[in-house]
Amino acid sequence: MSNTQSTGIDYLLDLNDRHSQAFIDLSSERRRYRGEHPTEIAALKCMDGRLHLPVITQTALGIIQPFRNLGGKFDLGWPFFHTIIDQWVRYSITRGRHCLVFVTYHYARGDTHRGCRGFNYDTCAAKDAAIKLKDQFIRVYGKGAVVPIVCGIETDLDALVLHGEDDNIVVDLAKIKQTSQIELEELLSSLYPNMPERIVRDMIPLVRGNIRHVAEIRASNRPIADAEHKEWVLGVGRGFDWLHLINTAFIVGPFDPTLSVAIETAAKLLKGNIDEGRIDPNGVVLLTNTAFRDEAGPEYHLAREKALFLSKFAQDIIKEKVPDLLPHLQVLTGFTDMDTRKFETIERCDSVPVSKKKSA
């Protein structure tokens, strides 16, 4: 992963080209993997750019469905969120597949202040919220085909911290060395005595991938600076898993009824990255993206309308709440075909017109 701080719209479009090509090239590999590991996997996580589960579990793109929001805060009572989750569960069940939901929170073992801004760095509060959300899933879906688990993501080493069915039993994968099938099966069965065997078998590759990834991070002696915020993209919407680089984007999903607050927070974090000299102030992008699958039907046109609406919505909030970010902002609006991960541009603007009322 070269991080020669390439930024800006053209960089993003090029990145999408390459990832879309890789996604298409991997389609038979993904089908093979799916045949072997049919469990549908979702991850509920913070918009923080460091939390990239395909990277930290060494899993092919398109296997883990990400849902992102500020702090990883979600509530099945949110109208749009519960519709999307319920669609996903029904889709899985009709195909005879189990569902595994990673309910995540994040922190850094070396310094509280590298933890979650969405929770004011209060890891206990973040953990409690994750446990509450897991319990909500159990209340709604029972104990059966849908299994939610609480999982911490420790970002200094990119380690997963698995919480058992008993909330007090916790295993930090950075402390696990053994990776044989039997040892991992034993580990997971002791954490999750009621988890269907099918899910255990489909979770093992992710656990093994994370143990391997942590060993690589240790061996590379990754400097801590790399784990600090350097995001230069504010992503609004869905269908972002092609944006595959750590520390690149704050992504705000459309699930939260107080979406405007999440956008404002992300905009402030971006501005902070500029003010503290961590990123190039001339390459900051507001990227709005929506997802569709069926190019022939209304879904395609709806995705387009939604992208235009969300982009305007986000720009209005930034103008009102974080106007100092505007002079730095480039705007890219489009939608992504989920079958190819190809992003189609609807609008781009390399600088936002700012009304110059305060001239010196």
Which residue in 284, 255, 256, 289 sits closest to 270, CA to CA?
284
SS3 326: helix
Identity of the residue, 202 or 231, whose beta carbon is nearer to Zn ion in the bound complex: 231
Shortest CB 45 distance to Zn ion, Å: 8
Please, what is the minimum distance in Å from the beta carbon of residue 130 to Zn ion?
Answer: 12
Q: Is 71 left (phi over 0), alpha (psi -120 to 50) or beta?
A: left
Q: Distance (Å, rounded) from C-alpha 51 to C-alpha 37?
A: 23
Nearer to Zn ion, 200 or 270 (CB): 270
Residue 23 parent element (H or E): helix 9-25
DSSP string, 52-120: -HHHHTT--TTSEEEEEEGGG---TTSHHHHHHHHHHHHHHHHTT--EEEEEEEEE-SS-GGGS-GGGT
Which lies closer to Zn ion via its Cβ, residue 70 or residue 332? 70
Only one residue has tokens 């961590």, namely 278
Residue 265 Cβ vs Zn ion, minimum distance, rounded to whole Å = 10
Query: What is each CA distance from 357 to 18, 319, 322, 360, in whole angstroms?
Result: 42, 13, 16, 10
Q: Which is nearer to Zn ion, 129 or 346 (CB)?
A: 129
* Shorter beta-carbon distance to Zn ion: residue 195 or 270: 270
CA distances from 94 to 37, 40, 85, 97, 358 (A): 16, 12, 14, 7, 59
Token pair listed for 132: 């509450």
41 residue type, one letter = I
Q: Among residues 107 and 137, whose Cβ is nearest to Zn ion? A: 107
User: In the bound complex, what is the minimum distance in angstroms from residue 267's beta carbon to Zn ion?
Assistant: 15
Instruction: Work out how close the CB of 332 gets to Zn ion at its nearest, in angstroms, rounded to a whole number.
Output: 24
Q: How far is the CB of 70 from Zn ion (least distance, A)?
A: 7
Q: Which is nearer to Zn ion, 51 or 346 (CB)?
A: 51
Tell how strand 284-292 and strand 329-337 pair up. parallel
Q: Which two tokens stand for residue 327?
A: 């002079």
Q: How far is the CB of 283 from Zn ion (least distance, A)?
A: 23
The residues of the shown chain that bind Zn ion, judged by CB under 5 A, are: 46, 48, 116, 118
Name the residue nearer to Zn ion (CB basis): 111 or 350: 111
